[in-house]
């Protein structure tokens, strides 16, 4: 049976952030993930994890000015120093939190630039980050994101992500495979997971359309969960969806779709 991690950025949003750890544990989750820890004291976050018997499985590298619409800076040639500072900060947090993997949101293509213009910057940044994380005993991920939700995002498809892994050439870089984004962009969920499982470090989920709970859309999640088990994925699956009503009322999918 898959192991599910509550994404605290998306779930239990009726509560202040620091109260979501307890809510996740009470709801039966054993692990959590979320976008960013940097607005909070790392020791307070670690204490919340410990107090609630939770492990943290993922957070992102700093991604620029999120409130202003930035979604990563790894492909921005004029911000390499800022990116490297963010890598150091992310490692510091992840080490304290016992978080084994960090995701790099590579960002939107800068205005006026072409993909060829920024490719070398992105590869160099990811090589730097992969080395730094490996030294710290952590793994680096990159995530393709659909352009309906984030227009202009540089990395959109699994094949693009795999080509980027090849260009970086690090054994410490994997794909974060988000089922929702993949369904919107390319489909072929089962075959992609089967073919590239060895290069997938983490999976996230939501249904489509609407990015709601599994079972609210077109994806055959009971079949897909059995497939993920059958191909041997043993990692966590992050629940990064938007509850249709509230988180607790929508959690029945875990039993209904995995039994």
Tell me which residues are annotated as active site. 143, 240
Q: Which of these, 177, 185, 257, 199, lies nearest to 224 by C-alpha position? A: 257
CB 219 within 8 A of CB 213: no
CB 211 within 8 A of CB 241: yes
DSSP state of 106: -
Contacts of 89 (CB under 8 A, 6+ apart): 38, 62
Encode 100-130: b = buried (16+ Cβ within 10 Å), e = exposed.
bbbbbbbbbbbeeeeeeebeebbbebbbbbb
């Amino acid at each position: 049976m898959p192991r599910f991690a509550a994404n605290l950025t998306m779930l239990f949003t009726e509560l202040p952030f620091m109260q979501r750890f307890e809510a996740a544990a009470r709801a039966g989750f054993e692990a959590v993930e979320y976008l960013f820890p940097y607005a909070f004291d790392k020791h307070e976050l670690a204490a919340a994890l410990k107090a609630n018997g939770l492990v943290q499985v993922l957070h992102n590298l700093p991604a620029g000015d999120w409130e202003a619409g930035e979604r990563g800076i790894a492909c921005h040639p004029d911000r390499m120093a800022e990116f490297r500072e963010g890598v150091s900060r992310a490692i510091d947090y992840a080490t304290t939190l016992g978080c084994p993997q960090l995701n790099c949101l590579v960002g939107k293509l800068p205005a006026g630039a072409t993909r060829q213009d920024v490719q070398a910057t992105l590869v160099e940044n990811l090589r730097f980050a992969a080395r730094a994380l490996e030294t710290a005993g952590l793994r680096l991920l990159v995530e393709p994101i659909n352009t309906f939700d984030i227009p202009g995002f540089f990395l959109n498809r699994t094949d693009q992500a795999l080509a980027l892994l090849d260009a970086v050439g690090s054994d410490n870089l994997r794909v974060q495979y988000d089922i929702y984004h993949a369904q919107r962009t390319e489909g072929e969920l089962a075959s992609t997971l089967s073919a590239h499982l060895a290069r997938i470090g983490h999976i996230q989920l939501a249904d489509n359309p609407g990015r709601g709970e599994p079972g609210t859309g077109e994806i055959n999640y009971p079949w897909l969960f059995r497939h993920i088990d059958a191909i041997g994925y043993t990692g966590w699956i992050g629940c990064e969806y938007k509850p249709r009503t509230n988180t607790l009322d929508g959690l029945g999918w875990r039993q209904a779709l995995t039994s």
